[in-house]
Each structure stands twice: as C-alpha cells, then as structure tokens.
Chain A
Amino acid sequence: MSGPPVRRPRGRRTRASPHAEAREIVFDFLQGYDLLGAFWMTVKLTVLSAVGSLIWGTMLAGMRVGPVPLMRGFGTAYVNIVRNIPLTVIILFTSLGLDQTLRVSLGSDQVDTVNFRLAVLGLIAYTSAFVCEALRSGINTVPVGQAEAARAIGLNFTQVLTLVVLPQAFRSVVGPLTNVLIALTKNTTVAAAIGVAEAATLMKSMIENEAQLIAISAVFAFGFMCLTLPTGLLLGWVGKKVAVKR
C-alpha cells in the first residue's frame, strides 16, 4: 500500500521512523490483500454494466413508447417485474439459471470469467429497467411541439425518436442517469453472491480474518466514495452544461 520509504539522509531517518511505524500499525490489516485489484474489478463491472444497461434501457424505453402494442406490453412487464425483485435474486438467477441449469455458453471455460460475465448480465438486466424509466421521464420533458414538428416533415417513429426526441431527452436526464450510475457502482457489491472477486468480497474475507471491523469498513467506505463522488460531481457539471434551456 504505502510504498517503500524513499531514500532519506541518515540523520533524518531516525526522526522519520516513528511516523513510518505509526503508518505501518494503522494500515497493518491491509497487508497481503489486493485492495486495488478488488476495486478495479468493481470499476470493470460498473463500466461494462453501465454501457450495456444504457443500450438495453434505451431499447426498452423505445419499446414502451412505440406503436407496437405487444412490445409496449413487454416493456412494461419487464420493467415492473425486474424493478421489484432484489438484485441478489437476479444475479443468482443468472448464475444458477442461465449458467448452471440452462447451460448458456458465455464464450469461456474459466469459472471466474464466466461469473464476471454473468454478473455483468445480471446488472444490465436490473439497471436497464431504471435507465428505461429515467429516459421515459426525460421523453416527457420534451415539448410536444418537437415531436409534432418532426412528424409534420414526414419522419417516421424511429426517426422521430432517434433524431429528435431522444437527443433532447438524454440531455435532460443526465441527473437521474447519474443517480442510476452511482447506484450501479454500489450495486456491483452484490456480485459477491456468485463469487466475483470485487470489493465487497474482499471486505468480507478481510472482516473474517482481521479484527479491525470498523477500520476495514471505513477503508471500503472511502474507496466507494472515491468512485462515486467524482462521478457525481463530473456528471452534475455535464448535466448543467448540456441541459436544454427552455
């Protein structure tokens, strides 16, 4: 964690050593654990799931406002079912159902890789329901005149949605989508249920092996704040920049 002490002049080392010692005692429990690796796994889960759920969530929103009744029904049912189930159940379903029972191949023979991909799938399935709802509320904020004008010049549904309405809707829902992204970052901890070695898994095994429960909790709380607070601030700024002024 804290790197090897930098070479110092001899005279000063004696003075510096009490600090080094204190540091060693405080962060002793971090020795031998791959903290960065675990958080890197959290980041990978977050980024891949975010991209996937943005795509699938947009498609769901398209279905829910589209002209085909059956797809509308599917979109509504999907969102209402998925939103109401705990994420743990969904992630376990991907592993026990998709992988262990239905034997869907995810292009790898390695258990760890498969579990990672399953976790991403589960997170996408769950998060996209929230992305869909956020987007739909964004579509609501686009003035009716926009869509009417688009139709008047002869655009069809897909064109109205992709060229006129969605670009404006996205700009107005950066805030809600940021909340979804932050929630997703924290939700990746649930992937521990199928043995993905991310931050919460490491935290659990550290708590089991070490005595300093509060110190460990604090380290992980800090780690998550490092991930979520900058995201929130950055996207909050972006949201203000791109918001449609009306």
Chain B
Amino acid sequence: MTSVLYDTQGPRAKRRNILYSALFLVAFAALLWWVITSLNDKDQLAWEKWKPFVHSEAWSTYLWPGLQNTLKAAALAMVIALPLGAFFGIARLSDHAWIRIPAAAIVEFFRAIPVLVLMIFADAAYSAYTNTSSDDRPLYAVITGLVLYNSSVLAEIVRAGILSLPKGQSEAAMAVGLRKNQVMRFILLPQAVTAMLPAIVSQLVVIVKDTALGGAVLTFPELLASVSPMSAYYGANTIASFTVVALIYIALNFSLTSFASWLEGRLRRGKKSTGVVLAPAAVGGTESTGTGVGISI
C-alpha cells in the first residue's frame, strides 16, 4: 500500500523499515515476556483461575445473564436515542429560532453532564414519582441516562453531518422547487447518513460500554457487574474475570462496527456521495473537502 505521506520505498528505505520493524518487535516481545512472566510469578496464570470459563457453569450463572441485560439496555437505548438524536440534530438547524434555541439548550445541557449522574438522577426520579416495579427500575434508569446523553451527542453528529454537505446540494434542491422538509428528507439526510455513519457507530459502541456504569451505580445486573459475584465464587480470580469480560465487550463491539462498515460499503456502492466520510483509510485517495464529523466518546 502506498500513501501520499511517504515516497515509494527504495532499497535503503526498505532496509531501514525492516530495522525499525525488528526493533519494535523486540521491544514489544520483551514487554509481553515481562508481563507474562510477572503474571506467572504471581500465580495469575494458574489454571484454577481460568478453568471456570471453559465450563458452562460460569457462563450460565454469571456471564450470560449479565450479557443479556447489557444487550437489552444497549439495544433499547439505541432504538430510542437514534430517532431522538436525529430529531434534535435537525431541530438545531431549523430556520425558526423558537425551535432552534430550545433544541440547542437541551442538547448542550445533557452533553455537559456525566451519564453516571443522569442515571442516578433518573433512578431517584422514577422511584419518587412513578410506581415502576423495582425489578425494572434500574433498567429504565440506565436506558433513560443513556438516551438523554447519547441522543444529544447523536444530535451533534447529525447536525455536523448535514452541515458538511456542500451548499450547492440544498441550493439546487430548492431551485427545482422542493420544499424545506423535502430538501431535508430526499437530498440532505440520505447523503449525510453515509458521512455520519462511522461517527454514529462509534457512539453506539459508547452506548454498549456505558451500560456498565449502570452496574456500578444502580446495581443493574449487567455484564461487568457479574464480575463481582463471579470472582468471589472462583477464588478472587479478578484478573482472569476482567480479561474474559473485556474480551466479550471487544467481540460485541467489534461485531457492531463490522456490521456498520459492511452497511456503509453497501450504501456507498453505486452511489457517489459528495459528502465527506470519516473513512478509516489512511491519507490518500480523492481530494477531500469539508471538515470531519466530531468523534465523541
């Protein structure tokens, strides 16, 4: 693969690259060796600490129920937050100040507060003003917190995605006589979606990860919270438990991002978008215009 950032490599550059690679490899291998031997010294690699995870017992008692709750909360939060985010994002672009300003205030307010605080607040509010059963309340509070925060972040992504489109698009659309909402629905949003997709997906990953906060503050029995009874039962194998849970999160989020990039590929095939895409590719390709859509955590 060539890049515009460096020249095609000649023999000397190739030799130098091999040298750098070798040095990097040695340093990395040394670090890995040190980590593994140290862990081994402290008995952290002992088979008893890892054995539970090859039996179905640990999965059926602790991990799978936790994973189910994580998936449920994340999926519901996504389903609610995506349309809400699109709504607020478009509302912030409205020509009417009485729509634009309240939308902006709401978005900025919820973006400024930690999700953790929002979840605690939602839980307290549900318990004080509704009679939700105590079994469902943590789930609702987690979803509320996630939706309030993430829909405001998604709103910003949608807004930036629409703003990143060339002005000519909406001007041309208006010139052929489309109404404002037609311009948005038929011209701007379809193009903006391709431009926003990577940013939206990274926000969806955030939703999956942030369900873990519910376990920490509201005893919502999600995946990460399952570590505490699990490691207590299997002789304090905290490092092994956290590693396994981290791997599950990686697998989960990786499949989410892979699905999204497959979707993105399908969307872009056979269609020339004028919008900029926050493509994961390195520098190169066609000349790009406009500014990137905000990546958020």
In the docked arrangement, what's the CA distance between A65 and B293, Å? 20
List of B residues within 8 angstroms of A39 by Cβ: none
List of B residues within 8 angstroms of A148 by Cβ: 4
A173/B216 in contact, CB under 8 A: no
Looking at B132-140, B168-176, B266-274, B284-292, the stretch in contact with chain A turns out to be B284-292
B113/A68 in contact, CB under 8 A: no
- Chain B's closest residue to A178 (CB) is B294
Asked if B238 is an interface residue, CB under 8 A from chain A, the answer is: yes
How many residues of B sit at the interface, in one of the four size bands?
35 or more
Known contacts being A86-B212, A88-B216, A147-B4, is A175 close to B291, with CB within 8 Å? yes
Asked if B249 is an interface residue, CB under 8 A from chain A, the answer is: yes
Looking at A5-13, A17-25, A109-117, A220-228, the stretch in contact with chain B turns out to be A220-228
Partner of A80, one of B39, B245, B254: B254
In the docked arrangement, what's the CA distance between A35 and B25, Å? 47
B239/A96 in contact, CB under 8 A: yes
List of B residues within 8 angstroms of A147 by Cβ: 4-5, 283
- Chain A's closest residue to B123 (CB) is A213
List of B residues within 8 angstroms of A160 by Cβ: 5-6
- Chain A's closest residue to B6 (CB) is A157
CB distance from A35 to the nearest CB of B (A): 14
Hey, what's the 0/1 contact readout for A163-192 against B, CB within 8 Å counting as 1? Answer: 001000000110110011011101101100
Asked if A26 is an interface residue, CB under 8 A from chain B, the answer is: no
B117/A176 in contact, CB under 8 A: no
In the docked arrangement, what's the CA distance between A28 and B8, Å? 69
- The residues in B between 134 and 148 inclusive whose CB is less than 8 angstroms from any CB of A are none
- The residues in B between 40 and 60 inclusive whose CB is less than 8 angstroms from any CB of A are 42, 44
In the docked arrangement, what's the CA distance between A136 and B202, Å? 15
B292/A140 in contact, CB under 8 A: yes
- Chain A's closest residue to B25 (CB) is A70
In the docked arrangement, what's the CA distance between A85 and B205, Å? 9
CB distance from A89 to the nearest CB of B (A): 5
Asked if A118 is an interface residue, CB under 8 A from chain B, the answer is: no
Known contacts being A69-B21, A127-B297, A130-B295, is A141 close to B290, with CB within 8 Å? yes
- Chain B's closest residue to A231 (CB) is B112
List of A residues within 8 angstroms of B117 by Cβ: 189, 200, 203, 217, 220-221, 224
B294/A217 in contact, CB under 8 A: no
A65/B114 in contact, CB under 8 A: no
Known contacts being A176-B292, A176-B295, A217-B121, is A144 close to B114, with CB within 8 Å? no
Hey, what's the 0/1 contact readout for B7-28 against A, CB within 8 Å counting as 1? Answer: 1010001000100110011001
- The residues in A between 83 and 126 inclusive whose CB is less than 8 angstroms from any CB of B are 83-89, 92-93, 96-97, 101-103
B224/A186 in contact, CB under 8 A: no
Asked if A229 is an interface residue, CB under 8 A from chain B, the answer is: yes
B295/A133 in contact, CB under 8 A: yes
Partner of B113, one of A70, A140, A143, A221: A221
Known contacts being A101-B44, A224-B113, is A70 close to B21, with CB within 8 Å? yes
A186/B113 in contact, CB under 8 A: yes
B288/A214 in contact, CB under 8 A: no
List of A residues within 8 angstroms of B280 by Cβ: 136
A92/B297 in contact, CB under 8 A: no
- Chain B's closest residue to A212 (CB) is B124
B121/A65 in contact, CB under 8 A: no
B21/A182 in contact, CB under 8 A: no
List of B residues within 8 angstroms of A89 by Cβ: 212, 224, 242, 245-246, 249
B5/A161 in contact, CB under 8 A: yes
Asked if A134 is an interface residue, CB under 8 A from chain B, the answer is: yes
B292/A137 in contact, CB under 8 A: yes
Partner of A74, one of B28, B35, B212: B28
B288/A141 in contact, CB under 8 A: yes
In the docked arrangement, what's the CA distance between A200 and B113, Å? 12
CB distance from B264 to the nearest CB of A (A): 15
A176/B238 in contact, CB under 8 A: no
Partner of A180, one of B25, B239, B295: B295
Asked if B209 is an interface residue, CB under 8 A from chain A, the answer is: yes
A193/B216 in contact, CB under 8 A: yes
- A interface residues with partner B (beta carbon < 8 Å): 64-71, 74, 80-81, 83-89, 92-93, 96-97, 101-103, 127, 130, 133-134, 136-145, 147-148, 151, 156-157, 160-161, 165, 172-173, 175-176, 179-180, 182-184, 186-187, 189-190, 193, 200, 203-204, 207, 213-214, 217, 220-221, 224-225, 228-229, 232, 243, 246
In order of increasing CB-CB distance, the 7 nearest A-B pairs are A183-B297, A84-B253, A137-B292, A186-B114, A157-B6, A86-B212, A86-B209
Can you show 16 pairs from A to B with CB atoms below 8 A apart? A65-B5, A67-B5, A71-B21, A71-B24, A74-B24, A88-B212, A102-B35, A137-B292, A176-B296, A180-B297, A182-B112, A186-B115, A200-B116, A224-B117, A225-B113, A243-B291
Knowing that A70-B21, A144-B283 touch, tell me 13 more A-B residue pairs with CB under 8 angstroms: A89-B212, A134-B292, A144-B284, A144-B287, A176-B295, A179-B156, A182-B112, A183-B297, A189-B117, A207-B120, A213-B124, A217-B117, A229-B108
